[in-house]
């Protein structure tokens, strides 16, 4: 059974059509990135999955249950986009409180605090925490009781680069244990190797939903090649390969996937005059731009 099933869901606030006919499902152990511009409808979708706001039409099921039902609620770990906690409590006190509500125990709290790197500060009041530290408390709270579905709304905002990396390690472990993960983010570069599937929303609609390699194939965006050569040869080589000389020694080229091997063979045939070749497929950022703008009428 899919952990999360969203079927033709719409949400209208007065005149505003926040979510328009979204279909999306997430399987156990799958990590799905939910991308989209500000106001695309990501948070609204999460709020409907949580049962915090009703759908206007369509249907959502969480492990076969209705959003907001006891079964659905106890199966979900949620990190809201703006975490706010009672500043007078310590992280340990706060998490022990949530642990009781989720049927988890004090040992699990200490383990989680260790995993999110807060052991050293767990007995300090949360109001003395930095932004990133508060975000870590939020993460620990969301992961308590090993949820079947983790909904993480911009989980890495406020985290430094190392912490972001560690955060994705945590998500990987969670997914390996069978948790379905749906996380929204604007930080695309770090997501590239860390998700199984990418879902892109634009103006309330789901405009893409596929693994990254498939998105690349569908979008048919060119691969970029960067050839480094001896300065005196650059112009001749640029002309023969059909590329652009960028500075003294570099040539930029683009090709489609099915032209790549032939182009590489042509470059290799030039021999020692070619010092280096770098190849770059379309990045998630380029794909995101394609799907959220050019692709949509």
Nearest approach, Cβ of residue 16 and ligand ATP (Å): 5
Binds 191: which of Mg ion, ligand ATP, none (CB < 5-8 Å by kind): none
Instruction: Note whether 220 and 53 are within 8 A (CB).
Output: no
Nearest approach, Cβ of residue 47 and Mg ion (Å): 9
Nearest approach, Cβ of residue 34 and Mg ion (Å): 10
Residue 53 as a binder of Mg ion (CB under 5 A): the answer is: no
Nearest approach, Cβ of residue 282 and ligand ATP (Å): 22
**And the tokens for 148?**
């079947």
79-83, long-range: CB < 8 A, 24+ apart: 79/138, 79/139, 79/141, 79/142, 79/150, 79/151, 79/152, 79/153, 79/155, 80/138, 80/153, 81/43, 81/153, 81/154, 81/157, 81/184, 83/134, 83/135, 83/137, 83/138
Binds 189: which of Mg ion, ligand ATP, none (CB < 5-8 Å by kind): none
Residues found near ligand ATP in the complex (CB under 6 A): 13, 16, 18, 36, 38-44, 81
| Residue closest to Mg ion (Cβ) | 43
Q: Which of residues 60-119 bind Mg ion (CB under 5 A)?
A: 81
**And the tokens for 162?**
């190392």
Nearest approach, Cβ of residue 5 and ligand ATP (Å): 20
Near Mg ion by CB under 5 A: residue from 3, 18, 43, 156: 43
Instruction: Return residues touching Mg ion (CB under 5 A).
Output: 42-43, 81
């Amino acid at each position: 059974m899919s952990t999360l099933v969203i079927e033709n869901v719409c949400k209208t606030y007065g005149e505003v059509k926040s979510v328009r006919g979204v279909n999306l499902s997430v399987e156990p152990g799958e990590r799905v990135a939910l991308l989209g511009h500000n106001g695309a409808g990501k948070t609204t979708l999460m709020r409907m999955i949580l049962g915090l706001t009703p759908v206007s039409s369509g249907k959502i099921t969480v492990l076969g249950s209705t959003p907001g039902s006891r079964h659905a609620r106890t199966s979900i770990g949620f990190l809201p986009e703006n975490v706010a906690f009672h500043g007078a409590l310590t992280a340990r006190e706060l998490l022990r409180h949530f642990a009781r509500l989720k049927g988890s125990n004090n040992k699990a709290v200490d383990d989680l605090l260790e995993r999110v790197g807060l052991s050293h500060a767990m007995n300090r009041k949360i109001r003395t925490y930095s932004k990133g530290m508060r975000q870590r408390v939020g993460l620990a709270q969301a992961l308590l009781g090993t949820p079947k579905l983790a909904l993480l709304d911009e989980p890495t905002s406020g985290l430094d680069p190392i912490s972001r990396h560690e955060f994705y390690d945590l998500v990987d472990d969670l997914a390996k244990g069978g948790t379905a993960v749906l996380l929204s983010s604007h930080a695309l570069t770090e997501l590239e190797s860390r998700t199984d599937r990418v879902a892109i929303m634009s103006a309330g609609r789901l405009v893409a939903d596929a693994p990254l390699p498939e998105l690349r194939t569908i979008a048919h965006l060119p691969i970029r090649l960067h050839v480094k050569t001896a300065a005196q040869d650059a112009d001749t080589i640029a002309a023969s390969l059909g590329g652009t000389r960028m500075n003294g020694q570099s040539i930029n080229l683009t090709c489609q996937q099915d032209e790549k091997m032939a182009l590489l063979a042509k470059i290799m045939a030039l021999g020692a005059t070619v010092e280096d070749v770098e190849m770059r497929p379309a990045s998630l950022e380029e794909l995101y731009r394609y799907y959220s703008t050019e692709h949509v009428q």
